[in-house]
Chains A and B, each alone.
Chain A
């Protein structure tokens, strides 16, 4: 089980980073999403894996619980990564609409102020 999760994290990371290294905005955003899955799973897994032990207290029986703290951290991380994706997406979209180009790297003319500047 641990092996499955670890390999999934590794593959998500590799895929995310490969896409982040592309040169157009959209794949970069998709790559960022893949990477956030990987990071969220990673953080979650630092609490170690457990089956059928949700951190919901049982008043009637002594049962085991999984680690709640990474879950709380990952919960906010998921919501924040939505916010981040949305901001990056809007920046990418506005840049494309303004310049009719969705490359992420500056060309030489951009570096010198760009034609629009």
Chain B
């Protein structure tokens, strides 16, 4: 089976339990199991080749420019981990089916589990570190869902949050580290990176990359001082704990250290960080585990301790230690998963996990006792079980490790840790199963059905078999995995008896010491309870609280709901940037000749500046400021006209008309005066800011206008090709509909969206209680006596066809002379608005049959379809075509697809302007507004009757 499929199967399969849960819990668990089994079989098909030393790969260039390739590879290490993930996954799925109660949503559980499984398989099979990072983050997310599965429990939610925070933060630092590593090696493909040991270790960026990557590994694998999240994650259902904390999640960090071992290890930095942290974690975890009364907490800290052990072995950097680490990964996964499931059985049957309430269970639960006994003895490192073998190898490696010149330190601490390990492992047996039968269990315990004890039994069988026949069962896999880790052929021949080595003596000391410690447990506990200990959760919570408060403080300071404040911050920052750019950049001499100032422009300048200053000065009178800004707009339009921009002048003047009408309509509903409420200090501040900004903008454009282009502009191309390539002489229009047609297409879409937003706001407002207020509104001034003056009605109706004619004329000539779709759309809109104004909303709306949304949509569609037409000729989107046609009796004329595109622009602009104005007009509608028959010549109506009513 392709490696893609193996990694993808769990994700695809995650759909099944979510759907099949409707067919019952068996269907959900069977489908989950089937998916996992399929992936496992697909994996094991490759096993013979991998065990021979081959590497199976699947390559797919996903985003090669970014170095992100969906490359997968399967070597010994990947095989080892993938087998653990899928194999133990299968057992957990079986176990969970019988563990979860009827109230728990099992479909969700299995979906989360499969997503998590897929992410883990993805990590161990990735051959690209960017891909690996994606899967890495996915494990953090999916484990969050699994740990917080019991959403109703606050511990579950807090534990999930803590796990996500710690592992997520580590994941972020890991991203940084991996990017640095990829930068050093020049590739993000693992297989390439692993070839460049010397290059990477010689780089000055080696230390930061190493530390960042290790932060990710340590947080994931719960190494000191990040170990605290793991015990809190025990609030999850036991199947989750058994899966995440024996074989998968926490092993991801170890996997990555092992994967990167060939390039990152072997330096002093690696030894002192990884070795020391591992050693501390091993000892600390073992000591704490002994004093925990909660079964799962004991196992959690024991997990922390064993993870520390493996980390330490990887940290030693020697080949023998790496082999021991790989071997212990297998052994730990088997006995720890079995023990977690065992703790779950005890919890399930006795309804408590408190060791103080337990004891004597061996009489009531013989099967459970047997399984727990073997697994715990293996954890303690007692022969002939597999834990003994790897622990001996660990002690052997520790015995030969010299820490900063102190030869006894590492062996002594290793024995100390092993001693506590023996003590807590035996305590699991002695204080839970041995002793007298009690009569005060919270429930009536007895052995569960095979659904619960079979999965751990499978693992316990492995514990025994690996212990007795290590060479037959474990050697091929361990050799292949260790070869992949070290990059050399390794020889691995474990044996229960290997002579009187220092490791054996250390083991004996640890076992005897552990027994003694267990006997003295009560006294040791009293000592422990009197020791001052920092509580990690309190520190973590305080840290999170502090960070939350700090970020809230910053957010509230910057973002207090005052638009003015945002504007001020933005303006000052922008001006600062501008000043910085100006003071650090080069500023050449004036090269561009300036135009002389003549009388007309000077007059125009006075009007423009005068009107805009008046807008500011009289802004408290809103109507007056509106009139004045109309003048400003007109002057701007004239400036365009004067400065050789006829298209802009036409557009500006027509936009000006509709904008002013819109603002006038709105002002009808708003207060007519703006109160004077700014303090003088505030006014001075605002004047200072705005004058500075004005000086900056004016100065900048003056500097630009008095200098020539720094490099040739692309405008030359447009001028040269407008007629040849676009078939039009109005270069601005050709740019709009042809050269930069895609921009224009985007812009009419945006305009259409804006109009539809306005429509939506109107609908929402009119659907609320505002409508009643609008209907009962009293005019703030007496209305004009004649709502629809005869003169205006007649004039606008006469003008309508003429205005449309002008629009059509402007539209058609646009390609060659000033005009085009934008301007024509605005003119046509004004023609209709005139009818609304003169004859009333009701009258005009009745005659307007086409919905404006439809017109906008048609416009955008016409433009899009025109653009797509080019595809049929094998050309890119929006390539235009044109030709010249000669019909009898007519001059030769041009037909261009650009005109069709411009038609789309026309429709979109027309519809958008009218939809905006029409929406606003709807606010004004009140019952009884005289708009029923304004000046309509209708023979069916009896005007005399209306006349009489009026009098």
Q: A interface vs B, CB < 8 Å?
A: 1-30, 33-34, 37-38, 40-42, 44-59, 65-69, 71-72, 74-76, 78-87, 89-94, 96-98, 102, 104-107, 110-111
Q: A17-B690, A33-B659 are in contact. List 12 more A-B contacts (CB 8 A).
A: A13-B697, A13-B698, A18-B687, A27-B625, A49-B643, A50-B644, A56-B818, A76-B736, A79-B826, A87-B758, A93-B670, A94-B770
A20 to B652, CA, bound (A): 22
- Shortest A74–chain B CB gap in Å is 6
CB pair A97 B773 closer than 8 Å: yes
Judged by a CB distance under 8 angstroms, whether B367 is at the interface is: no
Question: Are B750 and A80 within 8 A (Cβ)?
Answer: yes
- The verdict on A69 contacting B714 (CB below 8 Å), with A42-B701, A105-B563 known, is yes
Q: What is the minimal beta-carbon distance from A104 to any residue of chain B, in angstroms? A: 5
- Interface of chain B, helix or strand or loop or mixed? helix
B645 partner, pick from A24, A54, A94, A96, beta carbons under 8 A: A54
Query: Contact: A14 with B663, CB < 8 Å?
Result: no
Tell me if B765 and A97 are in contact (CB < 8 A).
yes
Tell me if B140 counts as interface (CB < 8 A to partner A): no
Residue interface bits B519-563, CB-to-A below 8 A is 1, else 0: 000000000000000000000000000000000000000001111
Which residue from B640, B671, B701, B714 sits with its C-beta under 8 Å from A102? B671
Q: Which of A6, A79, A105 contacts B698 (CB 8 A)?
A: A6
Among B646, B675, B750, B761, contact of A83 (Cβ-Cβ < 8 Å) = B750
Interface centre among B605, B622, B912 (most CB of A within 10 A): B605
Q: Which of B737-766 contact A (CB under 8 A)?
A: 740, 743-744, 747, 750-751, 754-755, 757-758, 761-762, 764-765
Query: Do A26 and B667 contact each other (CB < 8 Å), given the known contacts A51-B595, A86-B754?
Result: yes
The answer to whether A55 and B761 touch across the interface, beta carbons within 8 angstroms, is: no
* Chain B residues numbered 664-706 whose CB sits less than 8 Å from any CB in chain A: 666-667, 669-671, 674-675, 677-678, 686-687, 689-691, 693-695, 697-699, 701-702, 704-706
Q: Which residue of B lies closest to A37 (CB)?
A: B636
Q: Which residues of A are found within 8 Å of B743, using beta-carbon distances?
A: 76
Known: A4-B605, A71-B648, A78-B651. A11 touches B694 (CB 8 A): yes
The reply to whether A15 and B615 contact each other, CB–CB distance below 8 Å, is yes
Cross-interface CB contact of A26 among B674, B698, B744, cutoff 8 Å: B674
A69 — which chain B residues lie within 8 A by C-beta? 713-715, 718, 735
**CB pairs A–B below 8 angstroms (8 shown):** A15-B615, A44-B648, A68-B719, A87-B754, A89-B920, A93-B669, A97-B774, A107-B561
Do the beta carbons of A71 and B663 come within 8 Å of each other? no
B344 in contact (CB, < 8 A)? no
B740 to chain A, nearest CB (A): 6
CB neighbours (8 Å) of A104 from chain B are 563-564
Please give me the residue from chain B that is nearest to A105 by CB atom.
Answer: B562
Given contacts A54-B645, A90-B761, A93-B666, are A79 and B751 in contact (CB under 8 A)?
A: yes
Question: Which residues, 490 to 509 on B, are CB-close (under 8 Å) to A?
Answer: none
What residues on A are CB-neighbors of B677 within 8 Å? Answer: 23
- Complex CA gap A26/B659 in Å reads 13
Q: Does B592 contact A (CB under 8 A)?
A: yes
Residue B461 lies at the interface, judged by CB distance under 8 Å to chain A: no
A-B contact count (CB 8 A): 314
Question: A48 CA to B702 CA in the complex, in Å?
Answer: 10
Interface membership of B38, Cβ < 8 A:
no
CB of B632 closer than 8 Å to a CB of A: yes
A102 with B705, Cβ < 8 A, contacts A1-B596, A65-B719 known? no
Q: Which single residue of chain B is at the shortest CB-CB distance from A96?
A: B670
Kindly state the separation between the CA atoms of A80 and B344 in the bound complex, as whole angstroms. 65
Contact B643 A50 (CB under 8 A): yes
Closest to B642 in A: A51
Bound Cα distance A25, B671 (Å): 10
Q: Evaluate whether A56 and B701 lie within 8 angstroms (CB atoms) in the complex, with A20-B567, A68-B719 already known.
A: no
B564 near A14: Cβ-Cβ < 8 Å: no
Interface string of B624-658 (1 = CB under 8 A from A): 01100100110010011011111110011001001
Contact indicator B732/A57 (Cβ below 8 Å): no
Contact A40 B636 (CB under 8 A): yes
Least CB distance from B916 to A in Å reads 4
Shortest Cβ distance from B753 into A: residue: A83
Which residues of chain A are near B642, meaning CB under 8 Å? 51
Q: At the interface, yes or no: B512 with Cβ under 8 Å from chain A? A: no
Closest Cβ neighbor of B646 among chain A residues? A54
- In the complex the two chains form, what is the Cα distance from A66 to B645 in whole Å? 8
CB-based contact A78/B648 at 8 Å: yes
CA distance A44 to B729 in the complex (A): 20
Q: Is B609 an interface residue (CB 8 A)?
A: yes
Complex interface: chain A residues within 8 A of B592 (CB): 48
Whether the Cβ atoms of A9 and B561 lie closer than 8 Å is no
Q: Which of A18, A90, A111 contacts B920 (CB 8 A)?
A: A90
